[in-house]
Each structure stands twice: as C-alpha cells, then as structure tokens.
Chains A and B, each alone.
Chain A
C-alpha cells in the first residue's frame, strides 16, 4: 500500500476528473471498468448457459497470476493480467476439450478444470508466500478482491483492454448474435461457428481477468451473471440487453466498491451482495415478466374464472372461502343481489360469459375448418378480439350446422400391420 500513499500526494488527473480523493477515484474507475466489461461480455456466457465456465476461468487465473509473478518477478498489473489471461484461456479450451473427449459431461469437465487449476494455484501461492518477500498480499487479493489497492495506471490498462473487447463486440455484433441465438442456422449460412464460439470464450476470459482484481476469483462469476439476468428482465432486444447489462454492472460495481472502501470491508462480497439484491429485485418487479407481476395477473385470472363460475351457476352451494370472496366481489359490482340471485346487470354478464364459453367450445370443435387471415391463435378470454369478427362469424355458422368452406384436410390414416410370415 506504500505505492498508493505516495501517489496520493500527487495531484491526479483521474482524481480531479471524478472529483473524489485519489483512492476513491481509483476505486470508482476500477469498479466502473469491471462492471461494464463483466456486464457486456458476461452476457455472451450467460446466454449460452456457460456461466459456470466463467467460474472455472476465474479460479484458473490464480495459477496464471502466480506463474507470471514467478517469471516476471514483479507485481505489475499488465504482466499479471497476461498470466491470468493465458491461464484462463487454457482452462477454457481444456474444458471444451475434455467435454469433447466424450465420457465426461460438461458440468464435471468444468468442475475438474476448476478444482485442478485452483489446487495448482493454491500450491504456487503458498509456496510463494512461504518462500520470499512480503509482497504476496497483492496476490492473495485475487481471492477476495481489493479495489482500493489499485493504482491509476492499473485501471488504465484494464480500461484499454476493455475498450478493445467492446470494440470487437460492436464490430462483430451481428455475427455474434446470430451464433448465440441459433448456431445451426449460423453454420448453414456460412458463419465460422467454432471460431466465433472460441471468440466468445476469449471475451469471457477478458471480462474475468479484468474483474478478478476487483471482486476476487471466487465471487467473480456472480458479476458475470447479475447484470445479464437483470437486464434480460428489463429489455427485449439483444442490443438493449447488452447496453443495459453494462450499465447495471457499472452501477453495482461502483456502489459496492465505494461502500466496501468506506466500510473497510473486502470489496468482492459487498459488490456481490449488492448485485444479488439488484438481480432479485429485477426478477420480482420487472414489469410484465417479474414474479410479482405474473402472480398478480394469475390471481386476477383466477378471480375471473371463479366469478364466471358463479355467474354461470348462481344457485350452486357456496364452496369455501374463495367462492365466498368471488360472490362478495360480484355483489360489490352490482351483479349479484344480496339474496344470491343475479341482478339484471348480472344476468347480462352471465349471458356474456355463456356466450364466451359457447364460442370457445365452437372453436375447439370447428376451429380447424374455418379460415383465418394469418397465423393468429385464440385467447379464450377474448375470442372476438384475438381472432377477429369474421372468424367468429364463421364459427357461429359452423355451430348452426352450416357447411363452412375452409380447408380440406389431408385425411390420412396409417394402419400398421406386421409383414406376412412374422408371428
């Protein structure tokens, strides 16, 4: 940490630009770079169901960093980053290789590579910390992260690497999206799918290598997943998801890192817990997709079904609490009288419900024979709205027994019979 306090006394461009004291400025900058890269590049792992490959790559950086230290002898970030990147890439390729060798399944392949590399890293780390100088603390921070120990030029290196990676993503956006969404189609239109998938793995390694310094190897995988999971709940198109993931990653990273620095806590855990909270919030509250939204919609639908049941048969005996609640709701709307019979408005509503049911039954019976202008499919709660008035008119005709010209079916029946001579 001596280097840091030395530099803190000099005026720093970064510090002035962000408007915070030196250490805080570096923390913010580092966490920003981490957040953006792990967010954007992490998407290419998460959407391929390869999140845990990121976990293995993160653990694999440990021996890479140790070897880089052994070879280079100095703790400067570019050298260590290179060691981490090489180790990460080797690990990723090994995982694919082991899986392709045949017997070992993907999860076991990831587990073996993760454990093996990490054990190797632990052996090297303890060997180093027992053998030489007290400068090992920097290496150990690879396990739990330490944003506050970063130097301005470290962040500059990380940012440069990140910029290159993001540029690659921007340029090859379309090829990468196609391969991500439908690899078979991508191959069929001549895309080099294997090369692109290797590229995506390399991007993952870059993200991990940048982020491990800030949140540590063990927790890195969460930083890959949180932004994409959050962004997916809030955006519908892949470019938007990428951008949003970058933003979410940046926000989570900066918030967590600043909190950890102020509170004198290890960076990794604070950032991860912040991210987890954000992801869970998105999963619960995202409009349209979120769990709470869907629960509300489901509850509303169930209420409608129960109310329809009461409208259809108001004389049926009351059956339980939900039925009572349904009746109370109907009474409130003036559809059910106090004595349990239908009011005039209630009878109108009941007739509508009966009509809807009759239409749906008609669809089930005659649907295949009416013609539709396009590939629309019916919504049982609103047949007219979803199918259109002409289709509904055809249904009514069919119900009335009229012949409806629509489709002739290729009626085919296959009878299977074993060849003569067999038992």
Chain B
C-alpha cells in the first residue's frame, strides 16, 4: 500500500470511529463536552508515560479513559454546587486538565515524540513508518489501534442502538423506563476519549473534535433519519480524509488540518444548499411562493 493511500485510510478510520459517535453527541447537545473530554486525555497519556514508562496502546487508552471520566465527574461536581453554570463548568475543568498535560509534556516527556505541536494536529505523515509485525505482515501501528477502536465503537453503537436512540430523543422518558440515559451519555464520552487518544498520533486532539462534530452536524442538516445521519457522517469524514490529503500536499501544510477544513466546507455547503434546511433553498422556495412584485 502506498504511503499516501495508507494515510488516507488511517484518517478514514478516524473518521469512521468519530462518525459513529458524532451524531449522538450532536443530538444530545454534548458536542462541547466531547471537545472538553478530548482535551482531557492529554494528561492521561502523560500520566501513563510517567507511571508505566510506556506508550503502548492499551495502558494509554485506559489512562485516557480514566481522565475522561475525571473530566466528566469534575464538570458534574461543579454543576452540582449550584453555583456554576454548565458551560462555565466545562470551561473551567478541561483547561485545567489540559494544562496539567501540557506541563507534564514540557517537564517530563521531552524526547518521546510527544511534543506540543503534535498534540494539536498530529503527525499523520509519520504513521506509515511506525509499524508492527502482525501475522507476517508489516502493518502501521496506528491502523491497528484505530481499527480496534472502530470495532469497539461499532459494537457499542450497534448493541445499544435502540437505547441510544430512545434516550437521545427523550432522556426523561428514558430515565423512567430504566434506560439509564446518563450512563449512556457517559459511555459515549468515554468512547470519544478512547477515540481521541487512539487518533492522537495521527490527527491530534483538536482535529478529533472536528471529526466528531462537523460531519455529524452536516449530516443533521441533510437528513431526518438517524441511520442515514450516521452513514452520512462517516461518509463525509472519508470525503474529508481523501480531499484533505489531496489539498494538503501541494500546500505543504498539516494534513489533518486540511481534512478538518474540507469537512467544514461540506458543512457550509449543507447549511446553504440542504434540500430541506438549507438557507438558500428556503429562500428560493419562499420566492417561488411569494414572488417579488
């Protein structure tokens, strides 16, 4: 597999993992919570390195999940005081955790390929060179980990589809019939954190958030059916991966950044031209009904 194709595939895997979760996050008004949680994984990665001296995927993922849970619990605790609004709670907790991570990196993690820039936008160009041997084949390590995460998210969303759907639509009803909406929300956030840390090397923290939110928001403008929304989110993510790579090369700029940019462009197109909700389509329809004198 050529390096370029491999990069696109890796990015596509990230897009798939994010596209499975994104629609639920957007529909449950948890978009910014997922942003917060994705930032909070940085101290997890650093902590695992400090404690266990390893960057192997499994312990790092556990560390990330732990800090994601810490982030959510911290936000909930602040809200529970009754003295802090939800958005202010988010704005207090994730910067504090991210700061811990940054300080950890500058102090202790110099020289382990965890520089600050890559936490922001990753180093996907290096992914083809980081390989492991699997059954006689040399495979990119990121691909393996991400493949695992995609599978995990697929299982999560597939098994809990009905419950997720019901609690997204009407959490209060869901609570009364023991569907545990809050638990499901937390599961989604932990899954987002796991996805974020798996994709860290490839696309960095911020761009994971982009792939979580933007394709899902775009899909929301294009369809009313949940299944279609998930499929569209994944599709738009892949589009971003391929087109982003194509755009980034000649510009010699961050591949992950270009992918995010393409997804945003898709969102803008949908905002304007969506058959049902687009701004321009609505105006055109109104003009047809009430033609200007």
The residues of A with any CB-CB pair to B shorter than 8 Å are: 46, 49-52, 54-55, 59, 98, 101-105, 107-108, 110-112, 114-116, 118-127, 130-131, 140, 143-144, 218-219, 221-222, 224-226, 228-229, 232-233, 265-266, 268-270, 272-273, 276, 279, 283, 289, 291
The yes or no answer to B48 lying at the interface (CB within 8 A) is no
- The interface residues of chain A lying within 8 Å CB-to-CB of B257 are 119-123, 125-126
- The interface residues of chain A lying within 8 Å CB-to-CB of B120 are 122, 143, 218
Q: How far apart are A128's CB and chain B's nearest CB, in angstroms?
A: 8
Q: Write the chain A residue with the least CB distance to B262.
A: A119
Q: Is the CB of B88 within 8 A of A46?
A: yes
Task: Of the listed stretches B134-142, B161-169, B210-218, name the one at the interface; the rest are far from the partner chain.
Answer: B210-218
Q: Is the CB of B96 within 8 A of A222?
A: yes
- The interface residues of chain B lying within 8 Å CB-to-CB of A222 are 91-92, 95-96
Please report the C-alpha to C-alpha distance between residue A8 and residue B117 in the assembled complex, in whole angstroms. Answer: 30
Q: Is the CB of A122 within 8 A of B256?
A: yes
Please report the C-alpha to C-alpha distance between residue A124 and residue B107 in the assembled complex, in whole angstroms. Answer: 28
Q: How far apart are B247's CB and chain A's nearest CB, in angstroms?
A: 8
The yes or no answer to B85 lying at the interface (CB within 8 A) is yes
Q: Is the CB of B261 within 8 A of A123?
A: yes
CB contact between A265 and one of B100, B106, B209, B263 (< 8 Å): that residue: B106
- The interface residues of chain A lying within 8 Å CB-to-CB of B277 are 101-103
Q: Is the CB of A120 within 8 A of B254?
A: no
Q: Is the CB of A52 within 8 A of B220?
A: no
Please report the C-alpha to C-alpha distance between residue A112 and residue B268 in the assembled complex, in whole angstroms. Answer: 10
**Pairs of residues from A and B, 3 with the lowest C-beta to C-beta distance, nearest first:** A119-B260, A116-B264, A269-B99
Q: Is the CB of A126 within 8 A of B78?
A: no
Q: Is the CB of B252 within 8 A of A108?
A: no
Q: Is the CB of A272 within 8 A of B99?
A: yes
- A140 touching B117 in the complex, CB below 8 Å, given contacts A104-B217, A269-B99: yes
CB contact between A218 and one of B98, B252, B259 (< 8 Å): that residue: B98
Q: Is the CB of A283 within 8 A of B81?
A: yes
Q: How far apart are A273's CB and chain B's nearest CB, in angstroms?
A: 5
Q: Is the CB of A111 within 8 A of B35?
A: yes
Q: Is the CB of A221 within 8 A of B267?
A: no
Please report the C-alpha to C-alpha distance between residue A13 and residue B106 in the assembled complex, in whole angstroms. Answer: 34
Q: Is the CB of B103 within 8 A of A270?
A: yes
- A116 touching B214 in the complex, CB below 8 Å, given contacts A144-B116, A269-B100: yes
Q: Is the CB of B103 within 8 A of A115?
A: no
- The interface residues of chain B lying within 8 Å CB-to-CB of A229 are 83-84, 88, 92
Please report the C-alpha to C-alpha distance between residue A423 and residue B271 in the assembled complex, in whole angstroms. Answer: 48
Q: Is the CB of B206 within 8 A of A52?
A: no
The yes or no answer to B251 lying at the interface (CB within 8 A) is yes
The yes or no answer to B121 lying at the interface (CB within 8 A) is yes
Place the interface of chain B in its size category: 35 or more
What are 16 A-B residue pairs whose CB atoms fall within 8 Å in the complex? A51-B91, A107-B31, A108-B217, A111-B32, A111-B217, A112-B213, A112-B214, A119-B259, A123-B248, A123-B254, A123-B257, A144-B102, A219-B99, A221-B91, A273-B103, A283-B83
The yes or no answer to B145 lying at the interface (CB within 8 A) is no
- The interface residues of chain A lying within 8 Å CB-to-CB of B26 are 105, 108, 111
Q: Is the CB of B106 within 8 A of A266?
A: yes
- The interface residues of chain B lying within 8 Å CB-to-CB of A130 are 252-253
- The interface residues of chain B lying within 8 Å CB-to-CB of A233 are 83
Please report the C-alpha to C-alpha distance between residue A228 and residue B89 in the assembled complex, in whole angstroms. Answer: 12
Q: Is the CB of A127 within 8 A of B251?
A: yes
- The interface residues of chain A lying within 8 Å CB-to-CB of B199 are none
Q: Is the CB of A272 within 8 A of B264?
A: no
Please report the C-alpha to C-alpha distance between residue A368 and residue B79 in the assembled complex, in whole angstroms. Answer: 36
The yes or no answer to B9 lying at the interface (CB within 8 A) is no
The yes or no answer to B87 lying at the interface (CB within 8 A) is yes
Q: Is the CB of A273 within 8 A of B217?
A: no
Q: How far apart are B200's CB and chain A's nearest CB, in angstroms?
A: 15
Please report the C-alpha to C-alpha distance between residue A291 and residue B79 in the assembled complex, in whole angstroms. Answer: 12
Q: How far apart are A303's CB and chain B's nearest CB, in angstroms?
A: 22
- A119 touching B251 in the complex, CB below 8 Å, given contacts A104-B221, A269-B99: no
- The interface residues of chain B lying within 8 Å CB-to-CB of A221 are 91, 95
Q: Is the CB of A126 within 8 A of B85?
A: no
Q: How far apart are A82's CB and chain B's nearest CB, in angstroms?
A: 23
Q: Is the CB of A219 within 8 A of B91?
A: no
Q: Write the chain A residue with the least CB distance to B95.
A: A222
Q: Is the CB of B210 within 8 A of A115?
A: yes
The yes or no answer to B40 lying at the interface (CB within 8 A) is no
Please report the C-alpha to C-alpha distance between residue A51 and residue B261 in the assembled complex, in whole angstroms. Answer: 24
Interface centre among B92, B103, B256 (most CB of A within 10 A): B92
CB contact between A127 and one of B91, B107, B253 (< 8 Å): that residue: B253
Q: Is the CB of B96 within 8 A of A115?
A: no
- A269 touching B102 in the complex, CB below 8 Å, given contacts A116-B260, A118-B260, A120-B261: yes
- The interface residues of chain B lying within 8 Å CB-to-CB of A112 are 213-214, 217, 264, 267
- A143 touching B210 in the complex, CB below 8 Å, given contacts A265-B106, A269-B99: no
- The interface residues of chain B lying within 8 Å CB-to-CB of A111 are 26, 31-32, 35, 209, 213-214, 217
Q: Write the chain B residue with the least CB distance to A130.
A: B252
The yes or no answer to B90 lying at the interface (CB within 8 A) is yes
CB contact between B96 and one of A46, A121, A265, A273 (< 8 Å): that residue: A273
- The interface residues of chain B lying within 8 Å CB-to-CB of A55 are 32, 91
Q: Is the CB of A289 within 8 A of B251?
A: no
- The interface residues of chain B lying within 8 Å CB-to-CB of A104 are 217, 220-221, 271
- The interface residues of chain B lying within 8 Å CB-to-CB of A123 are 248, 251, 253-254, 257-258, 261
Q: Is the CB of B252 within 8 A of A127?
A: yes
Q: Write the chain B residue with the least CB distance to A225.
A: B91
- The interface residues of chain A lying within 8 Å CB-to-CB of B117 are 140
CB contact between A291 and one of B31, B81, B210, B260 (< 8 Å): that residue: B81
